[in-house]
Amino acid sequence: MTPNRVLRRESTPERTHLWVAPPFDGPPTGGTLYNAALARALSERGARCLRIDVGDAMARLLSPVEYAYWVDSLYLAAVPELARANVHRAPMRLVVHYLPSLVSRGDGAERSRAERDERAALEIVDGCLVTSAYMARCLTAGGVPADRIVVVEPAVPAWLPTDVDPPPSSEVRALLVANLSPAKGLLELIGTLAESMISASDLRLTVVGSLEMDADYSEACRRFVDGVAALRTSVDLVGPLPHEGVLRRMMGSDVVVSASAMESYGMVLAEARALGLPILALRGGNVDSHVGPESGGALFPDIGALVRDLIRLARDRNELRRRQGLARSARRTRSWDEAAVEFLSTFGADRAGDGDA
């Protein structure tokens, strides 16, 4: 990184925060939900925030008006070009929701190229905004100075109730929320579930998330479900829902499941904790910070162990109720206003604004 750039700008209030990120009303990924909710909370605190795309950022970087730029880590490859356009040396930081070095995807050449983009971006930007202490540790282990990293964890919607009690059901309702891709582990989960499936009246797994982000993978999951009679009647791939719809679906569930290989934060898990639901999850990334026996949850080293525990809960309703009680007594909430206050305590904001956003 280039500390001289940071030292030049940090003494000056940053007037308008420009989020170089996917549209806030686009597919509801964890990163997009974070960007949109934090920007909204900052605006309510008087900071000026605007979502722009890479092309707009290129044009604005040529302007002498001082903005602060927050580049989503989905745009790692664009950071060098943005830096070259940054002739007025505006503060430019990376919002790190994921890193290619932590998520295996694509063939070897693709991974190598993505990791080169990652290294180049981290060397160029003035600092990093991350969503968890876990991600901060990953960055420092990769050579990013600790004083260039700020952690602002996500929050949960203020309207979430604190007394959720799912209505009675003859089934145990498990919910997995993920935009389907290999990293989210659904195919392995349903494959293992099919090998030891109990009757359909005992367990229902609902999967909420985009089927379009990796259409081939989603189709493989759908074909597998359709090809196994026990799964056809007990696994529902409902596709994407608005964020509020996901949360309401969660309120009607008995347990939340995560088969993800790695979570840089785990917003779904945080929301499950806020609602008082037990969580069954694979270890990986920041998952450990959300899941534990004291909150009725359990962490597993592999899919097989996770499925065995899920089936145990379907068969033993007393155990399920015990763990739901633990989850309700260990609810954990955090407001987006708290997140905004933490952000502003580090980066500041000129409430009067400057320039035309």
Note down pLDDT in tens along the chain; length 357 residues.
443 333 333 333 456 999 999 999 988 889 999 999 999 999 999 999 999 999 999 999 988 888 999 999 999 999 999 999 999 999 999 999 988 888 655 455 555 666 888 899 999 999 999 999 999 999 999 899 999 999 999 999 988 887 777 777 889 999 999 999 999 999 999 999 998 775 545 899 999 999 998 999 999 999 999 999 889 989 999 999 999 999 999 999 999 999 998 899 999 999 999 999 999 999 989 999 999 999 999 999 999 999 999 999 999 999 999 999 999 999 999 999 999 999 999 987 433 333 333
Question: What is the largest distance, in Å, between two alpha-carbon atoms of the chain?
Answer: 66
Domain edges within the chain: 3-155+335-347, 172-329
Domain at 172-329: CATH code: 3.40.50.2000
- Radius of gyration from C-alpha coordinates of the chain: 22
Question: Whose CA is closest to 21, among 41, 38, 36, 40?
Answer: 36
52 contacts 20 by C-beta, under 8 angstroms? yes
User: Is this prediction's pTM over 0.75?
Assistant: yes
* Spatial separation of the C-alpha atoms in residues 268 and 110, rounded to whole Å: 28
199: region left, alpha or beta (phi > 0 left; psi from -120 to 50 alpha): beta
Sign of CA dihedral 28, 31, 34, 39: negative
109: region left, alpha or beta (phi > 0 left; psi from -120 to 50 alpha): alpha
Enumerate residues 6+ apart whose C-beta is below 8 A from 26: 32
- Asked if the domains at 3-155+335-347 and 172-329 fall in one CATH topology, the answer is yes
* Spatial separation of the C-alpha atoms in residues 122 and 142, rounded to whole Å: 9
Q: Does domain 3-155+335-347 have CATH number 3.40.50.2000?
A: yes
| 189: its two tokens | 């989960």
pLDDT at position 351: 36
278 contacts 256 by C-beta, under 8 angstroms? yes
Amino acid at site 10? E
